[in-house]
Chains A and B, each alone.
Chain A
Amino acid sequence: MKWIRRIELGLALSIAAMMTAAASLADVAPDAAPVTPAAAEPAAEAAVALPAHAAALALNSGDTAWMLTSTALVLMMTIPGLALFYGGMVRKKNLLATAAQSFAITALITVLWAVLGYSLAFTNGGDNQSFIGGTDRLFLAGMGNEVAHSLAASIPESVFMTFQMTFAIITPALICGAFADRMKFSTMMVFMAAWVLLVYCPIAHWVWGGVFLGGMGVLDFAGGTVVHLNAGIAGLVCAIVLGKRLGYGQENMSPHNLLYALIGASLLWVGWFGFNAGSAVAANALAGIAMANTQIATAAAALSWMIVEWMIQKKPSVLGMLSGAVAGLVAITPAAGFVEPSGALVIGLVAGAICYAGAVWLKHKLGYDDSLDAFVVHGIGGAVGAILTGVFAVSSVNSLGKGAIDGNPGQIVTQIEGLLVAGIYCAVVTFIILKVLDATMGLRVSPEEEREGLDLTQHGERIQ
């Protein structure tokens, strides 16, 4: 039947190509000349109206240069940062497959984001705007024009889009930590495509689109809720639905190569400057404080996990200091552009200790198998960060954010509301997607395949 599959594939590609061509033909004509927002002239000589989400581009090359760089930094966080971080923590027989998940997701979500995801998350959905964006940027139609997104008028929309793409890439890649060692590669790819469109895009729209959660006043500078709580909750649901690994609790599943994990964690740390400081979408003081806060909170969390572990286990483990650092990175993500460095320090110290407790106590008490602690580090870390943002946000750092210490204790409640809404939506939809895929494609590899390892059974390759 192979020749029929080839014809089907050819047909599908031709249709996709024709749709792309049609979309670009239906494109708005480029703006005649740069127009400042204040001097908006009615239709007469200005070409066509901008889509509702867009704004005239007031290009700032410093901002644009920084955002181009940030985009590269955040992409590096997934490949090879997360690929190595997770890859080093699994057994040798699954190392390649685990790293491949990050790599394949990067390719998959890039295309999905370009075709549909960006439009759903960041355009105006008209009647559906309070829930989801629309199709104004389907296939990124109009992206090549000199236009900006209204959230970032000083950089071209193409830069904003690609920057956001790297966030849409790393979020699903984080979930992989929860089901490491046991999920089918094919089902994983379909799951991630569905998850990004049905969970990530709406939540990103709610928090950063100025509607719903963002409109309620939820403060999330770089994605503590959109990325980390989201990935953590999805990870927890996956871990529970997929079930425990064979031999969990009895067999030795120790990390095969913690040096890879260290290299990965280091790439995450450095790349996170693009994640947090880049979320200022400008090369300015806000980016500067976001970078400083990121560095301080991460270091504090690495130290606090290390010290707590040292006291309890009598030795400070390398895995512990890496995990502490990542927990700090996660926790400072919502807060980076809202708090003073003193607040960042506290956030880091608290996140390191709480995530340590989550990893060594809560996980074993509740009895689920989240292989690489996606929920504890990203879910709990993200929640801790979001709540402490409500405590430590000060308007002197960012006029958009006033927390408890700035006389607005109600912000803490708003933060918790944001967590609950996003968390519950994520959990429910993730569960549904998993159940549908379980019934159609199957989620887990067979026990024999799990024994032999994913590298050989899913990819036909191994680390020599």
Chain B
Amino acid sequence: MKLITAVIKPFKLDEVREALVAMGVEGLTVTEAKGFGRQKGHREIYRGAEYAVSFVPKLKIEIAVRAEQADAVIQCITNHARTGQIGDGKIFVTPVEHVVRIRTGETDTNAL
């Protein structure tokens, strides 16, 4: 099993979610995050006090999938989250040791 973590631009969430659901993903978790990469932050000025704000708002999506589904999910996210501008985000894939469905107690691939 794999955990796919995708950091994307916030306005892309609906498009990515619809595409994932259409391809069979049944659940995901979204967190509001902020970050920077090559996309620079911005400048804020309050009565002469200037602040360089490096962080840009992002959304982090986490999806646990069967190993064989991972590539398809990554491709789906990439296609729908891309704008071609700096700041589109990144996807990280990590192995998942164990999964439990809380309501029923089902484990691993039965819980995905």
A-to-B contact residues, CB < 8 Å: 252-255, 313, 315, 317, 319-320, 323, 359-361, 363-364, 373
Contact = CB atoms under 8 A, between A and B. Distances in A.
Instruction: Determine the main DSSP class of B at the interface with A.
Output: strand
B47 interface: yes
Interface string B43-72: 011111101010000000000000000000
Interface in B68-82: none
Contacts of B44: 254
Contact of A323 (B47, B51, B53): B47
B47 A319 contact: yes
24 contacts: A252-B51, A252-B53, A253-B49, A254-B44, A254-B46, A254-B49, A254-B51, A255-B46, A313-B45, A315-B45, A317-B45, A317-B46, A319-B46, A319-B47, A320-B47, A323-B47, A359-B47, A359-B48, A360-B47, A360-B48, A361-B48, A363-B48, A364-B48, A373-B47
Contacts of B48: 359-361, 363-364
A313 B51 CA distance: 13
B47 to A, nearest CB: 5
Interface residues of B, number: 8
Nearest to B50: A313
A317 B44 CA distance: 10
Interface in B8-51: 44-49, 51
Contacts of A360: 47-48
Residue in B44, B45, B53 with the greatest tally of chain A CB atoms within 10 Å: B45
A264 to B, nearest CB: 15
Residue in B44, B45, B47, B53 with the greatest tally of chain A CB atoms within 10 Å: B47
A353 to B, nearest CB: 14
Contacts of A252: 51, 53
Nearest to A359: B47
A24 to B, nearest CB: 50
B36 to A, nearest CB: 15
A14 B4 CA distance: 71
- Which A-B residue pairs are the 9 nearest by beta carbons? A360-B48, A359-B47, A252-B51, A254-B46, A319-B46, A313-B45, A254-B51, A359-B48, A254-B44
B66 to A, nearest CB: 39
Contacts of B49: 253-254
A398 B88 CA distance: 66
Contacts of A373: 47
